Structure 1
Amino acid sequence: MDPMIFLEFSNELTQMKMFPYFDTAHFIVTCLYLRDDLSTGHHAFSRKHPFACWISCMFAAFAGNILSGFLLGEPIMDAFKSTNHVILGTAVWYLIFYSPFDIVYKICKFLPLKIAISIMKEVIRCKKINDGVGHASHLYPNSFLIMIIIGTVKGNGASLVKVIERCLRGVWTPNAIEFLQPSFATKASIGASIIFILDKKTDWISAPHSLVYLGIVIFFVYFKLSSMLLGIHDPFLPFENLFCALFFGGIWDTIANFINARNSGENGVSKVDLNARNGKSEINKKKD
């Protein structure tokens, strides 16, 4: 492939408009997640509490903008300033939950279409992370931590506010806090934010920004497809286990457990020998 064509494609990708097609994919994925999270109770809940169902969907769909606005001291309601996005999200929510015979939900769950929607969702995720890092760098040009936080929030805000979103549906699940068990999307958003920061604020990455952007999109899409088709849900997990074992006490705990087990085993053997000797001495006394 001609490098110039590849570069031109990456430039087109960075300038691609997300509305309405990619935003539609984002709303579809959000509503599918909410419906699957409701499980068998989705029918009764959506019929009995349609307003709460709509509020939770909108909150999850715009979670990245809501949470980033809250963290940056900006108006939270700016997340809903685009009437077109609110109308589009509402239309998708209605069709997913209330279409006749659940036809729209079944179509969206059809594997080839679901793969296409998921790919579009990952493209818009990368776009949001890039925009979040850029916005934070404009406000706080010397704070890499704030850039990472805002980029991550933009990329996977729905998971970060999962507990609040469930509370809007009357469900309290404190164990679902994302910080306890970060999902792959959160970890990947952190990694993508770091790469965008290195690209924007340092000279460590010499490639054009559009190629870096394209590489991150390919990364997201590749692992999303791996998750859907091969069941590889978290490729970071083996590296996390190794890192924790080396730097967060895992290897020392293993050594300590081995030493304790060895000492307890030796103590057990010595006690058995002592009891055996005592038993023999008592037998000899009885014979005498």
Structure 2
Amino acid sequence: MDVLGILNLGEIAQYFAKMAMFPVFDLAYYIVSILYLKYEPGSVEVARRSPVASWLCAMLYCFGSYILADIMLGVCPIDYFHNNSHILLATAVWYLVFFCPLNLFYKCVAFLPVKLVLVAMKEVVRTRKIAAGVHHAHHAYHHGWFIMVITGYVKGSGVALMSNFEQLLRGVWRPETNEILNMSFPTKASLYGAVLFALQEGHLLPVSKSLLICLFTLFMVISKVFMTARHSHGSPFALVELWVCHVLFGSPLTGNEDTHDHHGTAPSVPISPVKTKEDLSEGTRKRKSKKAE
């Protein structure tokens, strides 16, 4: 306790929790989100052929979590679009990423050191969205624990959950990339974070909300930056999940998370779509650009 008092950890956490996200952190969130959209196969061609469809996809990448959470809570799904400053900022990022002369903006934000900073800032926004979703649901449903968890989960990973709908706007249909079937690290972390914030809202977790936001943000930033730097799509929860699934569901303790007894090759099938969303798609784009040169 004396150490915590010397470090003023509580005051630092309160200051961090009250720190404004707009425009700096939200800008980083939009840049990284639309950057991942450009990694998707065919997204550049869609932007050239149909800028309206590309813009709608970009808006889903930036605001899909708000739209999905509003639908769940019975709020108008386009209510968030009255924030003109956010829409204009996201639109400017979309235009620069896809249509900047000589692709300069994309090259700058895709440069790994810059990208790592932007990814870290995006995770700060993600944690705030999870906490805000749980808090909003708590006010509407005081004892609705599942509603609180689901709302926080959707606020943190709504973009990934709506990925199949976004693919349809681009004329692509890949049901095997369903995020429920192949949960990526941000999706899993959003679910676990929603559970923690729901417990905190119900006063079952002896931690202040500001401190929980600070600690969970630190975990998300370190994990995501490390994974992005190594181009890894593993999960820090993998070992724990394997043991839990073995104890509760009788799943075999193997190195693959999605092992099924009735398919000998099943582990390799669901893992690959997760990589193609960011890593493999980026690699495909790089190979195409080298051939063009």
- TM-score normalised by the shorter chain: which range applies? 0.7 to 0.9
Per-residue CA shift, 1:248-276, capped at 9, x if unaligned?
12359x9x99xxxxxxxxxxxxxxxxxxx
Residue 18 of structure 1, aligned match among 21, 37, 45: 21
Give the Cα separation in 2 of the matches to 1:111 and 1:2: 37
Per the TM alignment, residue 233 of structure 1 is displaced from its structure 2 partner at its CA by 2.6
Compare the two structures and name the one with the higher helix fraction: 1
Alignment map for 1:29-178 (pairs within 5 Å):
29-38=32-41, 41-178=42-179
Per the TM alignment, residue 7 of structure 1 is displaced from its structure 2 partner at its CA by 2.0
* 1:238 aligned residue: 239
Alignment map for 1:240-259 (pairs within 5 Å):
240-250=241-251
Task: Give the match's secondary structure for 1:235.
Answer: coil
Alpha-carbon contact 1:122-1:220 (below 8 Å) kept? yes
Q: Return the TM-score normalized by structure 1.
A: 0.83
1:179 aligns with 2:189: no
Per-residue CA shift, 1:200-219, capped at 9, x if unaligned?
212432x3221111100111
Give the Cα separation in 2 of the matches to 1:135 and 1:185: 21
Task: Give the match's secondary structure for 2:124.
Answer: helix
Task: Give the match's secondary structure for 2:22.
Answer: coil
Give the Cα separation in 2 of the matches to 1:232 and 1:174: 20
Identity %: 37
* 1:267 aligned residue: none
1:216 aligns with 2:216: yes
Which letter does structure 2 place at the counterpart of 1:175?
A: E
Which letter does structure 1 place at the counterpart of 2:63?
A: F
Question: What is the CA RMSD across the aligned residues, in angstroms?
Answer: 2.0
Change (3 A) 1:171 1:88: same
Which letter does structure 2 place at the counterpart of 1:156?
A: S
Per the TM alignment, residue 44 of structure 1 is displaced from its structure 2 partner at its CA by 2.5
Change (3 A) 1:106 1:249: same
Give the Cα separation in 1 of the matches to 2:124 and 2:96: 23
How many corresponding residue pairs? 252
Alpha-carbon contact 1:68-1:154 (below 8 Å) kept? yes
- Structure 1: unaligned runs, 5 residues or longer: 258-288
Change (3 A) 1:232 1:56: closer
Which letter does structure 1 place at the counterpart of 2:117?
A: A
Task: Give the match's secondary structure for 1:250.
Answer: coil
Change (3 A) 1:58 1:225: same
Q: From the CA coordinates, give the structure whose radius of gyration is larger.
A: 1
Alignment map for 1:187-198 (pairs within 5 Å):
187-198=188-199
Per the TM alignment, residue 2 of structure 1 is displaced from its structure 2 partner at its CA by 5.4
* 1:281 aligned residue: none
Per the TM alignment, residue 79 of structure 1 is displaced from its structure 2 partner at its CA by 2.0
Q: Return the TM-score normalized by structure 2.
A: 0.81
Give the Cα separation in 2 of the matches to 1:82 and 1:159: 22
Give the Cα separation in 2 of the matches to 1:218 and 1:167: 35
Which letter does structure 2 place at the counterpart of 1:200?
A: E
